[in-house]
Amino acid sequence: MVVNCDEVWRELSNYLDGEVDAGRRAAMDEHFRGCKRCTSVLEGMRNVVQLYGDERMVEAPLGFGYRLQRRLGENAHPSRRTFFGWMVAAAAAVLVAGSFEAARSSGFGRTQLRSEHAQPGRGVPPDMMVWVYPDGKTFHVLGCEYILDRAHLKTVAAREALREGYVPCVRCMKKYLS
């Protein structure tokens, strides 16, 4: 078996680890006898493996860790980063709090009143029966003297009228307005 320089370089690590078959090992040995370039690469790689394998050769000098920490600390700007981090956190907190306040004040979850100028009733007995016009905005006590068209009235409980957005009539239910 004959090998060229490219094949030798591809298998060099396996050759040093003893992980090539006997036929390839013999072919590589023959190549090393005739190729000074590949022999140089082999010897260089052996030196590197030997140096890195010897723990005494890569021992750091005394105080190296302290000097490294100090230099890294000089290059970092923790005060600026810390301040920026706190500012981002504060801005996020303000946004979250503002979102909750906006949602609370928007009336989300409340029944929409049928009249923009209406006041919701306070203390209206929920079981009290009242009159409403299906397309109207207010509810009235039964027998209200201000109702002229009684043909289209519907009788419902005050709780249902309030839930549907009706508001108390300002004339016949003024005692329930704030």
Q: What does DSSP assign to residue 168? A: E
Cα 60 to Cα 47, 50, 55, 67, distances in angstroms: 20, 18, 10, 12
**Residue 82: its pLDDT value, please?**
72
Give the helix ranges, DSSP H, for the chain.
5-17, 22-34, 36-53, 64-75, 78-105, 158-163
Angle, nearest 10°, between helix axes 5-17 and 36-53? 30
At 58, the pLDDT band (50, 70, 90 cuts) reads low
What mean pLDDT is reported for the chain?
81
pLDDT score, position 88: 82
For position 33, what pLDDT does the model report?
94
Per-residue pLDDT of 149-166, as tens digits, reads 788 888 999 889 888 888
- Which position has the higher pLDDT, 45 or 105? 45
**DSSP run (H or E) holding 129:** strand 129-132
Q: Identify whether the C-beta of residue 87 lies closer than 8 Å to the C-beta of residue 95.
A: no
| Residue of 169 and 27 predicted with greater confidence | 27
Give CA–CA dist 113/81, Å, rounded: 51
Among all chains, which residue has been given the structure tokens 């009733």? 121
Give the tens place of pLDDT for each residue, 96-152.
888 877 776 665 555 555 555 566 667 888 898 998 888 888 888 888 887 877 888
CA distance 137 to 112: 11
- What confidence score (pLDDT) does residue 108 get? 55
